[in-house]
């Protein structure tokens, strides 16, 4: 996971690459939007592949497909061909995500899952903090190196998956007798799980609000009279705090009621974002970053592990895929709606962020998993003595 986030150069540098090729900012933004559509499809397909063919297979297919498609991007000619290719990258690049989450649930004991997801986020945050710096150096030489570097990181992850990860396909004995006789259902079962839909709604709200850190926060920083360097330092503060405080904080939050922890985190996220609009100095802006970063470290590890409370073993991939779709949807709506509201009225925009976060907190409080039948422990075979 560190490798794939370290080498996630395409999303970071795609717009700059397309503009350097002579395309307009609008065309480049549209191409990036197609990557988001591909990610939406990749999460949905990835959940099915993970459940039917195994977690390791899904990760390998995702990484090798992403590697091949990304390496071809510099060779594409024309906006249509390039956009179609990066859309394919979006599909393959996200196909692994449900499998990775499901595999972690498969192999980590229930009491350690929240900590495991926090450790996973540590690897992700370090990769995302260091990777763009290296990508920037590569882009200074050639954008071809940027895409080849991304392709190589995906190739390395795929190889590691095949060589080191367990297959991760649930075996029939993991399901209870009641679940074994129940129709498989696929995503129909996920969509019929009303408490889980409430959880997914809260995740759409959370990602919508958190997405303002890259959508409208830079606009506010510029309107306050600061340059891009200041904005970069604020994001650096966010990454540093996540690395330093998330694991210690998780040791305390994992013992609490998960719905209340997530709700508290979302409420604090809304407060931090709402305060942003009132801040006009660097230090006060940094304080708001601290507030919503603490919120992020409170709710995210718990929320990442929470789908395990809903999903039967044979549908873990689909439940993880649905969560990925929720985040993708929130990530698409956040910049679009946020940018529109900010253009109409900045104070209205930041107030709306608080309202959306509050709605997410209310939704998660109602997202109580339906108890599932437990698998009875089989009687041991009799021991025959001579």
pLDDT digits (tens, 9 = 90+) for 270-294: 999 999 988 989 999 999 999 999 9
Mean pLDDT, rounded, for 89-111: 91
Mean pLDDT, rounded, for 17-24: 84
Confidence of residue 260 (pLDDT cuts 50, 70, 90): very high
Q: pTM of the prediction?
A: 0.84
Q: What is the pLDDT of residue 98?
A: 93
Mean pLDDT, rounded, for 316-330: 93
Q: What is the pLDDT of residue 385?
A: 41
Q: Which pLDDT tens digit goes with each residue over 166-185?
A: 876 655 545 555 444 444 56
Mean pLDDT, rounded, for 303-319: 93
Q: What average pLDDT does the chain have?
A: 87
pLDDT at 336 over 50: yes
pLDDT at 248 over 50: yes
Q: What is the pLDDT of residue 275?
A: 95
pLDDT at 359 over 70: yes
Q: What is the pLDDT of residue 195?
A: 96
Mean pLDDT, rounded, for 243-249: 91
Mean pLDDT, rounded, for 146-161: 93
Q: Are 363 and 330 in contact (CB under 8 A)?
A: no
Confidence of residue 357 (pLDDT cuts 50, 70, 90): very high
Q: What is the pLDDT of residue 284?
A: 96
Q: What is the pLDDT of residue 227?
A: 82
Percent of the chain with pLDDT over 70: 91
Q: Which pLDDT tens digit goes with each residue over 293-305?
A: 999 999 999 999 9
pLDDT at 379 over 70: no
Q: Which pLDDT tens digit goes with each residue over 192-204?
A: 999 999 999 999 9
Q: What is the pLDDT of residue 169?
A: 61
pLDDT at 380 over 70: no
pLDDT at 62 over 90: yes
């Amino acid at each position: 996971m560190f490798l794939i986030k370290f080498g996630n150069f395409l999303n970071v540098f795609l717009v700059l690459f397309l503009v350097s090729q002579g395309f307009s900012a609008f065309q480049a933004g549209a191409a990036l939007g197609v990557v988001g559509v591909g990610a939406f499809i990749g999460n949905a397909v990835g959940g099915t592949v993970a459940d039917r063919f195994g977690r390791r297979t899904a990760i390998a297919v995702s990484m090798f497909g992403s590697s091949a498609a990304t390496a071809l991007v510099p060779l594409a000619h024309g906006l249509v061909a390039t956009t179609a290719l990066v859309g394919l990258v979006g599909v393959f690049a996200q196909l692994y995500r449900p499998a990775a989450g499901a595999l972690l649930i498969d192999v980590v004991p229930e009491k350690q899952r929240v900590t495991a997801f926090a450790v996973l986020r540590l690897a992700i945050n370090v990769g995302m903090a260091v990777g763009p710096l290296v990508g920037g150096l590569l882009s200074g030489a050639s954008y071809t190196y940027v895409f080849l570097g991304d392709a190589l990181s995906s190739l390395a992850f795929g190889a590691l998956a095949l060589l080191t990860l367990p297959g991760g396909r649930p075996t029939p004995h993991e399901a209870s007798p009641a679940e074994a006789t129940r129709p498989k259902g696929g995503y129909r079962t996920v969509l019929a799980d009303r408490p889980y839909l409430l959880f997914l709604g809260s995740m759409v709200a959370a990602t919508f609000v958190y997405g303002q850190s890259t959508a409208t926060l830079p606009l506010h920083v510029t309107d306050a009279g600061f340059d891009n360097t200041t904005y970069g330092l604020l994001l650096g503060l966010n990454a540093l705090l996540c690395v330093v405080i998330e694991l210690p904080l998780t040791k305390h939050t994992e013992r609490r009621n998960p719905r209340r922890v997530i709700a508290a985190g979302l409420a604090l996220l809304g407060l931090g974002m709402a305060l942003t609009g009132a801040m006009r100095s660097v230090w006060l802006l940094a304080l708001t970053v601290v507030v919503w970063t603490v919120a992020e470290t409170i709710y995210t590890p718990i929320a990442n592990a929470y789908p395990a409370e809903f999903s039967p073993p044979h549908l873990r991939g689909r439940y993880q895929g649905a969560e990925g779709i929720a985040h993708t949807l929130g990530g698409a709506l956040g910049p679009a709606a946020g940018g529109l509201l900010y253009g109409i009225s900045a104070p209205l925009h930041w107030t709306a962020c608080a309202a959306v976060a509050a709605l997410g907190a209310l939704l998660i409080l109602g997202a109580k998993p339906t108890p599932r039948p437990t698998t009875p422990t089989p009687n041991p075979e009799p021991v025959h003595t001579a």
